[in-house]
Amino acid sequence: MDSKYLTPQQIVKELDKYIVGQYDAKRNVAIALRNRWRRMNVKSEIQNEIVPNNILMIGATGVGKTEIARRLAKIADAPFVKVEASKFTEVGYVGRDVESMVRDLVEQSVNMVKARKKEEVKEKAAQAVEEIILDALIPPMRSKPTGFPVTTEENGSEPVTDVELNERTRNLFREKIKNGELEDRKIEINIKGSGNPGVGMIGAGMMDEVSMMNLQDMLSGMMPKKPKKRKVTVGEARKILLEEEAAKLIDMDEVKDEAIRRAEDAGIIFIDEIDKIASGSSKKGGGPDVSREGVQRDLLPIVEGSTVNTKYGVIKTDHVLFVAAGAFHISKPSDLIPELQGRFPIRVELTNLTKDDFVRILKEPKNALSKQYQALFEAEDVTISFDDEAIDEIAKTAFEINAEVENIGARRLHTVMSRLLNEFLFDVPDNIKSGTEIRVTQKLVQEKLSGLIKNRDLSEYIL
């Protein structure tokens, strides 16, 4: 099924495979993703006027906000960047410039397009690599008349030239290379030099990021690239040369154009911790800190739609989908500046996870923690199984610790599971031999985790 054409209901089903609950959030992101495809298929001139419905997710840590955005990007096969709003600072202060998130998105898009193009030319590149390896093993002979014909055994006295004999040997070795018979044979190959690895600029502090990158590219392009000789096995040479040959077959200008287009039409930027730049918590007695409102005002034109310079070209952010998320414990969404609030028309409140949700998280998702640990033990040829009562006990313990100390959502399950299973992981394979079966029961969970609930401080287990 082509991910680009998934219906909203199919998108929710895909998200259900990894995320428990949060139906409202899944439903809204599914609509936003499908609207992307709908906009691209609008025939009239209004297509460019249709703006994406940016989403603001409100919920405590560990309830699935980031996971929803990350899985959404995978479903859409779209360029995706996750940034933390608290990392940005107002223009004029030392810190990351808000435009860097768009540059990161374009970089991600270029890597995606390049990877796809390399896959398309993989076969052609593999053939070119075989020829280079063959040339290193049996160099070809120039077809010059030697004047001395060679007599071969196979068909009596028919004269065969050195060139023909060389070609026959090459054909024989070509088959051996294809069949993987010469993978350990050492050969000497030329590897393209990387030019100057990094050009430092003294006093470049005031230059903007793009100018700096362009100048570095230009200077490194001027440096002569000397090929390096390396002695490697045929198998290693295949890996090294495949990358080089594939890069030669790709038109980078085409890659850049397509990457910019993909980033503009399908890019998703996930801004986490947006509540940290809401000014509600710092309105009274504000010190010399970087103005949070200033960061919001810098962020506003990017979200509204502006033109950003990148080293691959100019990108417009008008149709990039922005998904923001925050716990909003101290501040409220209304503490954000009104203009920025207006740019996130869809508000989704994610619910806190219950003990039953924890049970489902441990068992149901494709990447469930119980399945992850089973895979780790399987690598050592040890089987581990969890009783339903044991899973219930793990969920109950994690839920109680969240209630007692600090609610960090599903992330608490990681600390509880590692506490439960670390001793077994340490004993494999020295004390627990391969072929062993470990059964995790409710009694075992209670024994291993008994100290967690009793210890009120619990400092060791707070992430």
Q: pTM of the entire structure?
A: 0.78
Which structure tokens are listed for 77? 């096969």
Return the top range by mean pLDDT from 105-114, 128-137, 331-340.
105-114
Domain boundary among 214, 235, 254: 254
Determine the structural domain holding residue 172 and report its residue range. 121-254
Asked whether residue 247 falls in the same domain as residue 127, the answer is yes
Asked whether residue 133 falls in the same domain as residue 106, the answer is no
Residues 144-153: tens digit of each pLDDT: 555 555 555 5
Please state whether beta strands 186-191 and 307-310 pair in parallel, antiparallel, or not at all (unpaired).
Answer: unpaired
Asked whether residue 392 falls in the same domain as residue 301, the answer is no
As a whole number, mean pLDDT of residues 391-406 equals 89
Asked whether residue 376 falls in the same domain as residue 446, the answer is yes
CATH number at residue 74: 3.40.50.300
Asked whether residue 101 falls in the same domain as residue 188, the answer is no
59 vs 289, more confident: 59
Q: What is the pLDDT of residue 371?
A: 94
Q: What is the pLDDT of residue 173?
A: 82
Asked whether residue 59 falls in the same domain as residue 175, the answer is no
Asked whether residue 341 falls in the same domain as residue 374, the answer is no
Domain boundary among 349, 375, 404: 349
As a whole number, mean pLDDT of residues 79-88 equals 88
Asked whether residue 260 falls in the same domain as residue 276, the answer is yes
Residues 185-216: tens digit of each pLDDT: 888 787 776 545 455 544 444 455 555 566 66
Asked whether residue 309 falls in the same domain as residue 413, the answer is no
Amino acid letter for position 183? E
Return the top range by mean pLDDT from 241-245, 258-262, 409-413.
258-262
Number of domains in the chain: 3
Residues 279-303: tens digit of each pLDDT: 764 444 444 445 678 888 889 999 9
Could you give the dihedral angle defined by the CA atoms of residues 251, 253, 255 and 257, in that order, rounded to the nearest 10 degrees?
A: -150
Q: How many CB atoms lie within 10 A of CB 201?
A: 12
CATH number at residue 370: 1.10.8.60
